[in-house]
Amino acid sequence: MKILVAVKRVVDYNVKVRVKADNSGVELANVKMSMNPFCEIAVEEAVRLKEKGVATEIVAVSVGPTQAQEQLRTALALGVDRAILVETAEELNSLAVAKLLKAVVDKEQPQLVILGKQAIDSDNNQTGQMLAALTGFAQGTFASKVEVAGDKVNVTREIDGGLQTVALNLPAIVTTDLRLNEPRYASLPNIMKAKKKPLDVVTPDALGVSTASTVKTLKVEAPAARSAGIKVKSVAELVEKLKNEAKVI
């Protein structure tokens, strides 16, 4: 089985995000960038499936600027066999990314595609579902458990009412939730080996995909500042403050 894993370059989750002075977007100059945490979970799941003997090859793909090769090299160090970068400097929406991934899926013909359920920058939670619609593959979103059995994959999904288990015919698309696994750290020897693993670079034009967007970002704003909370010594004091200061009761 071949597994395709999508990864995205995002601002590191430990970085305090700052909005540009002109409100056109988020400040990225001299900011630490990392692999999207949900994508790390997707890579880890693919590597675990290979370690179980279920998968024979793992291919990582990313859509983004030249610098996204760093995140692909990280995926290679974690156990991915080879990588593909769809290189573009444009800021793409979820549909454009899904179209590019669909072109890569058509070329690579994987039996399983694993994506993070969302990226922590745009927070859209759309690409996996859109890719499933474009390819016609079965989809299992918000996965907290993945088990491949023959020509099917059983996915336990985290839903509002609890857990739902679905059986998907392969080929299929799975999007990962936080509780699926805990990603490993890349060892120094594997980081060195990753430098020699193949990483192909293609362009949207080479894939025959138009990335023209019908959505335009008008303004990006930081959330409104909130005043600090206070501690009270008793329920009576809490009620008094809610009634006379907050005026909510």
Amino acid letter, 220:
V
- Give which of 106, 110, 181 is closest to 147, Cα–Cα: 181
Share of the chain above pLDDT 90, in %: 78
249 lies in some domain: no
111 lies in some domain: yes
Query: Is beta strand 9-11 parallel, antiparallel or unpaired with respect to 33-35?
Result: antiparallel
Confidence (pLDDT) at 24: 86
Confidence (pLDDT) at 214: 81
Confidence (pLDDT) at 65: 94
Segments forming the whole domain that contains residue 99: 2-244
| Residue ranges for the chain with pLDDT beneath 70 | none
Confidence (pLDDT) at 177: 94
Confidence (pLDDT) at 182: 95
- C-alpha 176/C-alpha 38 separation (Å) is 7
- C-alpha 244/C-alpha 53 separation (Å) is 65
Q: What is the CA radius of gyration of the chain?
A: 21
- Overall domain count for the chain: 1
Instruction: Assess contact for 62 and 104: CB atoms under 8 A.
Output: no
Write the CATH number for 208: 3.40.50.620
DSSP for 86-114, please give it: EE--S---HHHHHHHHHHHHHHH--SEEE
190 lies in some domain: yes
